[in-house]
C-alpha cells in the first residue's frame, strides 16, 4: 500500500490541534485585553500595561521551568520557596560585601544545587517528586527565616534595585527577562534532542531507557532547570522589592503550575510547550490586574483562577479525547 492510500485511515495529526490550542489561548488573552479596555479607562495606560507585564513576567519564568518538570511527569512544589530563598541569598551576599555579579552567580548556583538535590532524591532515594519538593518547600522557608532571623534584609545596591524599574525600548526590563529565558527554553525543548528526551521520559521512562536515553540525567536536567529558573525569579523579585525575605512568593508554585496547566501542559507528562505556560501566566496576570481595576474583591480573583483552571483543562481534555 502507499502512504497516500491510507491518508484518511488514522486520526487527525496532532500538530494542527496544538497550534489551534495555542491560538485559542492567545485569543483568550486578547479578548480579555479588549474587554478590559472597554470596561475600564485605566487598562490601556502605559503605566498599567508595564505593571501587567512586570506582574506576569515572574510567574511566566517560573511556569516555563515548571513545565520542563511536568513534561517528565513530575512536579516541583518548591519553586515559590526557592524564589524567597534566592531573594534572601542575594540580599545576604550583597550585605556581606560580595560584588553584585558574583552574588547573582552564587544565587543561581544555589538554584542549580537545589534542583540537583531534588533529582537526587527522586533518582537515588526513590522518593516521589511531590514529596521531595514539598520537603524543600518547607525546609527552604525555614532556612531562609533562620538566616534572616525572621526579618528582612534590605538591599542597598542601587544598580540592582533600579534594574526592575528600568525600561528598554519602552518595555519593562522584567518582561525582557521573559524573552531572555523563553528563547533558549524554546530551542531547548522544541529543537534539541534534550527536549525530546524530556517528553520521552514523561511518556514512558522504561521505553526511553531501553532506547538509550539517560533517564537519570534527563530528570536531573529538568529539576535543575526548574530550580534555576526559580532562583533567577528570586533575583528579579529581590530587585523589584529591594529586600530579601524568606516568606516572599508564598503560593507562587501554584501560580506556576496553574499557568503551565492553563497553557496546555498535561500533569500526566509528555504534553507541553514553552509558549503555553507563557500565555497561561499572562492570562492569570491579566485576570488579577483586571479584577483590581474593576475593584473586584481580591478573594474573588482566587475563585476565578480556580474556575478558569477547571474550564480550560476540561476543554483541553475534550480536545484530546476528540483527537483519539
Partner 1 sequence: MTGLYDVSHRHEEGAATVARHPVPKGQPILELRGLQKKYGAVEALKPASLTFLCGEIHAIVGENGAGKSTLIKLLTGVIRRTSGEVFWCGQPVQLSNPTEAIARGINAVHQEVVLCPHLSVAANMFLGDEMNNNGLMRKGAMTAAAQAVLNDLGFNLPAAATLSSLTIGQQQLVATARAAMRGTQFLIFDEPTAYLTRQESAQLFRLIRRLQGEGVTIVYISHRMEEVFELADRVSVLRDGTHVGTRKISETNDAELIALMINRTIEQIYHKETLPIGATILETRGLTGPGFEDVSLSVRAGEIVGLYGLIGAGRSEFALGLYGRQPVRSGEIYWQGKKVEIRNERQAMNLGIALAPESRRDQGLCLNLPIGLNINLPVFDRLTSGFTINRRREIDNADRQIRDLKIKTPTRRVLASAMSGGNQQKIVIGKWLSHGAKLFIFDEPTVGVDVGTKAEIYRLFARLLEQGAGIILISSYLPEVYELADRLHVFRQGKLVASHGYRGGSHEDVLTQAIGV
CB of 4 to partner 1, least distance (A): 9
Using rule CB under 8 A, residue 19 touches partner 1: no
Using rule CB under 8 A, residue 15 touches partner 1: yes
User: How large is the angle between the packed helices 252-262 and 298-322, nearest 10 degrees?
Assistant: 40
171-172 and 243-244 beta bridge pairing: unpaired
Using rule CB under 8 A, residue 126 touches partner 1: no
Between 193 and 302, whose beta carbon lies closer to partner 1? 193
Using rule CB under 8 A, residue 271 touches partner 1: yes
DSSP letter string, 281-322:
HHHHHHHHHHHHHTT--HHHHHHHHHHHHHHHHHHHHHHHHH
Between 70 and 243, whose beta carbon lies closer to partner 1? 70
Using rule CB under 8 A, residue 318 touches partner 1: no
CB of 183 to partner 1, least distance (A): 13
Distance CA 30, CA 245 (A): 35
Distance CA 66, CA 77 (A): 9
CB of 83 to partner 1, least distance (A): 28
Distance CA 118, CA 113 (A): 9
171-172 and 167-168 beta bridge pairing: antiparallel
Let me know how long the chain is.
324
Query: Segment 146-205, which members bind partner 1 (CB under 8 A)?
Result: 187, 191-193, 196-197, 199-200, 203-204
CB of 181 to partner 1, least distance (A): 16
Query: Segment 213-252, which members bind partner 1 (CB under 8 A)?
Result: 213-214
Distance CA 88, CA 82 (A): 10
In the complex, which residues of this chain contact partner 1 (CB under 8 A)? 1, 3, 6-15, 187, 191-193, 196-197, 199-200, 203-204, 206-214, 270-271, 324
Amino acid at each position: 500500500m502507499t502512504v497516500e492510500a491510507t491518508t484518511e485511515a488514522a486520526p487527525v495529526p496532532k500538530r494542527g490541534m496544538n497550534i489551534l490550542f495555542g491560538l485559542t489561548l492567545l485569543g483568550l488573552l486578547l479578548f480579555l485585553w479588549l474587554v478590559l479596555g472597554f470596561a475600564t479607562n485605566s487598562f490601556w495606560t502605559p503605566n498599567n500595561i508595564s505593571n501587567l507585564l512586570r506582574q506576569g513576567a515572574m510567574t511566566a519564568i517560573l511556569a516555563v521551568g515548571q513545565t520542563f518538570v511536568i513534561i517528565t511527569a513530575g512536579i516541583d512544589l518548591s519553586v515559590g520557596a526557592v524564589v524567597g530563598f534566592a531573594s534572601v541569598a542575594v540580599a545576604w551576599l550583597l550585605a556581606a560585601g560580595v560584588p553584585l555579579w558574583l552574588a547573582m552567580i552564587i544565587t543561581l548556583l544555589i538554584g542549580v544545587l537545589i534542583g540537583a538535590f531534588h533529582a537526587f532524591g527522586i533518582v537515588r532515594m526513590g522518593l516521589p517528586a511531590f514529596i521531595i519538593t514539598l520537603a524543600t518547600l518547607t525546609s527552604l522557608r525555614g532556612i531562609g527565616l533562620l538566616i534572616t532571623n525572621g526579618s528582612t534584609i534590605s538591599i542597598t545596591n542601587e544598580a540592582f534595585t533600579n534594574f526592575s524599574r528600568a525600561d528598554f525600548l519602552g518595555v519593562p526590563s522584567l518582561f525582557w527577562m521573559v524573552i531572555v529565558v523563553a528563547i533558549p527554553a524554546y530551542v531547548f525543548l522544541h529543537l534539541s534532542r534534550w527536549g525530546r528526551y524530556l517528553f520521552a521520559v514523561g511518556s514512558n521512562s522504561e521505553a526511553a531507557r531501553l532506547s538509550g536515553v539517560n533517564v537519570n540525567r534527563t530528570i536531573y536536567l529538568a529539576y535543575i532547570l526548574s530550580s534555576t529558573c526559580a532562583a533567577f525569579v528570586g533575583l528579579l523579585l529581590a530587585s523589584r522589592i529591594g529586600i530579601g525575605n524568606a516568606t516572599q512568593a508564598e503560593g507562587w508554585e501554584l501560580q506556576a503550575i496553574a499557568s503551565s496547566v492553563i497553557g496546555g501542559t498535561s500533569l500526566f507528562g509528555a504534553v507541553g510547550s514553552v509558549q503555553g505556560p507563557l500565555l497561561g501566566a499572562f492570562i492569570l496576570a491579566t485576570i488579577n490586574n483586571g479584577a483590581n481595576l474593576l475593584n473586584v474583591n481580591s478573594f474573588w480573583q482566587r475563585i476565578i483562577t480556580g474556575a478558569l483552571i477547571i474550564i480550560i483543562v476540561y476543554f483541553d481534555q475534550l480536545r484530546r479525547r476528540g483527537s483519539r
